[in-house]
Amino acid sequence: MGTEQNKRQYDWRELLARYGTIFGFFTMCIIFALLSDVFLKYNNILNILLQSTMLAIISFGLTIVIISGEFDASLSSIVALSGVITTLLLSNGWGIIPAFLVGLLPGIVIGFLNAIAVLWLGVSSFIATLGMMSSVTGIVYMITQGRSIWQSIPEDYLWLGRGYFMGIPVPVITLALLFLLLWFFLTQTNLGRKMYAVGGNAEAARLSGINVRKIRMLAFIIGGFLAALCGVLLASRLGSGQPTAGGTYFLDAIAATFLGQSIFSKGKPHLTGTLIGVLIIGTMNNGFVLLGMSYYIQDLIKGLVIVLAVAVATIGAKNKNQYTVK
């Protein structure tokens, strides 16, 4: 009888860990649909997808860093820096492609510097990247003096963030292609599988011949690159380089990534889960706006969502360890 009771308890925890977030998402959608007659309309659903694209890109970067066993708090500041640099170059007569490519460089450089601080100097990844976030934010304000950069930006550049192709917003198409590319990298290549191995057990990965430092450095660089890409595309969508552009993404990216860990995979970070987490956050933000909720109520609820997501992911991880050891 005790075994049967333990099994029922296991089943309950298993269901909660695997499907609790999905159930909560559908429940939230039903509530929003009942309270707002606009929520389920096609244009609003398309708007949710469009508004979620930039958050998804930066969240993918954070997910990859977490998969390798590290953390990066500097990604939101990279968004602002890359957007400001790109628009500044465009306003000074640079072509779209050169400005776009140069705008991506800060992400690569900052990711490399983060890796040096964490992997060679031994600084905690949270502390190192938090300090980097502060420094990069200072650089952004030095460049802009706190003002937006919007002069002489070409219309062709704005198409990247505002245009449509066959009736679908270009950012949504970009996100779909990027997701497929990153999914293939993480699941179908040796480097991607090594990232999961390093994040799962760095010592075991090292003993098996994997260069842990190299893999984690690559993760930091990819994370920075994706944050920079987000910044360049966001500047295109906004039509300007904003010194505060990335600030709102920090909490939302963390929430989306940890929500993703509570979906299907028992506490492990994965790209598909992060994408679903982003859609949950995007839907939540959209529903709050439709209902006219104050921003501080939104922040309160997001904070609770992060705590619940981490709790569910932890239950899943503990559940897996408990029932696979026997």
What sign for the dihedral angle of Cα 221, 226, 230, 233?
A: positive
Residue 137: per-residue pLDDT: 94
Residue 325: per-residue pLDDT: 36
Residue 218: per-residue pLDDT: 96
Residue 255 pLDDT class (50, 70, 90 cuts): confident
Q: In this model, does residue 263 exceed pLDDT 90?
A: no
Mean pLDDT computed over 217-232: 96
Residue 323: per-residue pLDDT: 39
Q: If you ran DSSP here, which 8-state letter would residue 168 be given? A: E
Strand 168-169 vs strand 164-165: parallel, antiparallel, or unpaired?
A: antiparallel
Mean pLDDT of the chain: 86
Q: In this model, does residue 284 exceed pLDDT 50?
A: yes
The two three-digit tokens of residue 321, written as one number? 């360890």
CA atoms within a 13 Å half-sphere pointing along the CA-CB vector of 76: 18
Cα of first residue to Cα of last residue in the chain, in angstroms, is 19
The SS3 call for residue 224 is helix
Closest CA to 99 of 248, 232, 282, 275: 232
Mean pLDDT computed over 136-165: 90
The secondary structure of 112-145, three-state, reads HHHHHHHHHCCCCHHHHHHHHHHHHHHHHHHHHC
Residue 326 pLDDT class (50, 70, 90 cuts): very low
The two three-digit tokens of residue 66, written as one number? 């977490």
Distance CA 319, CA 18 (A): 11
Q: In this model, does residue 23 exceed pLDDT 70?
A: yes
Q: What does the pLDDT look like over 67-126, one tens digit per residue?
A: 999 999 999 999 999 999 999 999 998 999 999 999 999 999 999 999 999 999 999 999
Domain spanning 23-321, CATH class: mainly alpha
Mean pLDDT computed over 239-251: 86
- DSSP string covering 52-120: HHHHHHHHHHHHHHHHTT---S-HHHHHHHHHHHHHHHHHTT--HHHHHHHHHHHHHHHHHHHHIIIII
Mean pLDDT computed over 276-295: 87
Distance CA 232, CA 185 (A): 22
The two three-digit tokens of residue 33, written as one number? 């649909």
Residue 252: per-residue pLDDT: 86
Distance CA 158, CA 21 (A): 36
**Neighbouring residues of 35: CB distance < 8 A, sequence distance ≥ 6:** 290, 291
Burial (CB count within 10 angstroms: exposed 0-12, middle 13-18, buried 19+), residue 247:
middle
Residue 262: per-residue pLDDT: 72
Residue 320: per-residue pLDDT: 52
Domain ranges of the chain: 23-321
Residue 226: per-residue pLDDT: 97
Cβ neighbour number for residue 271 with a 10 Å cutoff? 22
The SS3 call for residue 294 is coil
Q: If you ran DSSP here, which 8-state letter would residue 266 be given? A: S
Asked if residues 312 and 20 have their Cβ atoms less than 8 Å apart, the reply is: yes
